[in-house]
Amino acid sequence: MPELPEVQTTIDGLNKKIRQRRIISTWNDWPKFSSVEKTQGHTIKKIERIGKNILFYFTDPHILLVHMKMTGHLLVGEWKIGRDGVIPIKPKEMKERINGFIHFILVLDDGKMVAFSDVRKFGKVVFGTLDEIENLPELKKLGPDALKISLKDFSERVLKKKKTIYQTLLDQDVVAGIGNIYVSEILWQVKVHPLTPANKLNKDQLKEMCKATKQILSKAVKFRGTSVDDYRDASGKRGGYADHRLAYGREGEGCKRCEVKMKRAKKGGRSFHYCPDCQKLN
Ligand SMILES: [Zn+2]
């Protein structure tokens, strides 16, 4: 699932490519994405991120919210309009993803298009007024952004939770932006076992964790995110952080600190990666 670094990379790409462009038509092939039809005629002012949500602000007081969920990603390309409507003629670098996975397209007034590719179709799209979107419960209850949260806020929010630190960091209402990949990276970095109860962490651990969260996510933004599966940036390119991973997806490989074999475990349907030696459960 795209997490903060991937979503940030996506909006950086979109802001470079499609600001001030007017949407002249739209296409979609799935009822849950049909609200994109309402964007026709609107001009894109800027694209922002709230947690993992992408918000297209228009020059009038409307917003299109896109959540990429598990496998979604937004691509910008210059495609042609075919006889039967919008048939994307794919640029080379997008070819691998495009067949059958594009579920909506925004056609812009300069010949470019924004396409939403989503293999699993879990993505979410909502169009509304500023008020309607900003008051959506899923945005209102989001915790502070993982790159901006203060140590005080981080500590207070984490210590309120009895569940594991792994589940707590994934909880977008505690802190927004962290998912499966970066939670394993953060906990490995600070040598905390993923199943440690959040409210049992001490002051030093919380301080280290808050710091590691920002360091790891900033570094991942610098490398334009992680593409271990579906994620691609707005130009269809893979993110470069996968080569810098120290925990996620490394089960069976030696820990970069102690060389003990890394493990993968599952809880509540989501898996995590950790070093059984560096990250002991006390
Ligand atoms: Zn280790």
Do 268 and 246 share a domain, yes or no?
yes
Decide: 268 and 167 in contact? Cβ < 8 Å. yes
Range of the domain at 88: 4-140
Domain end point (choices 109, 140, 171): 140
pTM (predicted TM-score):
0.90
156 in the same domain as 124: no
Q: What is the pLDDT of residue 196?
A: 97
Which CATH number is 174's domain given? 1.10.8.50
Where a domain ends, among 97, 112, 140?
140
Query: Looking at residue 52, which CATH number applies to its domain?
Result: 3.20.190.10
The HSE-up count of residue 42 (CA atoms within 13 Å, CB side) is 22
Q: Quick check: is 2 catalytic?
A: yes
pLDDT attached to residue 124: 94
Residue of 2, 5, 88, 194 marked active site: 2
Residues in the chain: 282
The answer to whether residue 279 is domain-embedded is no
CA 112, CA 98: separation in Å to the nearest integer? 16
Residue 257 shares a structural domain with residue 198 = yes
With helix as H, strand as E and coil as C, how does the chain read? CCCHHHHHHHHHHHHHHHCCCEEEEEEECCHHHHHHHHHCCCEEEEEEEECCEEEEEECCCEEEEEECCCCEEEEEEECCCECCECCCCCCHHHHHHHCCCEEEEEEECCCEEEEEEECCCCCEEEEEEHHHHHCCHHHHCCCCECCCCCHHHHHHHHHCCCCEHHHHHHCCCCCECCCHHHHHHHHHHCCCCCCCEHHHCCHHHHHHHHHHHHHHHHHHHHCCCECCCCCCCCCCCCCEHHHHCCCCCCCCCECCCCCCECEEEEECCEEEEECCCCCCCC
Q: How far apart are CA 100 and CA 193, in angstroms?
A: 41
Q: Note whether 166 and 91 are same-domain residues.
A: no
Query: Are both 86 and 211 inside the same structural domain?
Result: no
Quick check: is 29 in a domain? Answer: yes
With tokens 């509304």, the residue in question is 128
Backbone torsions φ then ψ of 273, nearest 5 degrees: -120, 140
Tell me the angle at which helices 203-222 and 151-159 cross, rounded to the nearest 10 degrees.
Answer: 120
Distance, CA 275 to ligand 1 centroid (Å)?
5
C-alpha to C-alpha distance for 119 and 99, rounded to whole angstroms:
10
Q: Give the pLDDT of residue 92.
A: 44
**Given the residues 49, 52, 90, 245, the one annotated as active site:** 52
Q: Within this chain, do residues 121 and 234 fall inside the same structural domain, yes or no? A: no
d(CA 70, CA 95): 20
270 labelled catalytic: yes
Residues 236 and 94 sit within 8 Å (Cβ to Cβ) = yes
| pLDDT computed for residue 48 by the predictor | 97
Q: How many domains does the chain have?
A: 2
Tens-digit pLDDT profile for the chain (282 aa)?
789 999 999 999 999 999 999 999 888 888 999 999 999 999 999 999 999 999 999 999 999 999 998 888 898 887 655 544 444 544 444 444 455 688 888 989 888 889 998 888 899 999 999 999 999 999 999 999 999 999 999 999 999 999 999 999 999 999 999 999 999 999 999 999 999 999 999 999 999 999 999 999 999 999 989 887 677 888 888 888 888 999 999 999 999 999 999 999 998 888 899 999 999 997
Query: How confident is the model at residue 119, as a pLDDT?
Result: 84
Indicate if 191 belongs to the active site.
no
Instruction: Give the environment of ion ligand 1: residues with CB less than 5 A.
Output: 255, 257-258, 275, 277-278
Is there a single domain that holds both residue 122 and residue 191?
Answer: no
Report yes or no on 179 lying in a domain: yes
Q: Which of 120, 261, 270, 280 is catalytic?
A: 270
Residue finishing a domain among 117, 140, 163:
140
- Determine whether 52 is an active site residue: yes
Cα–Cα distances in Å, from 53 out to 3, 84, 142, 273?
A: 10, 32, 10, 25
Compute the distance from residue 280 Cα to the ligand 1 centre, in Å: 10
- Which phi and psi (to 5°) does residue 215 adopt? -60, -50
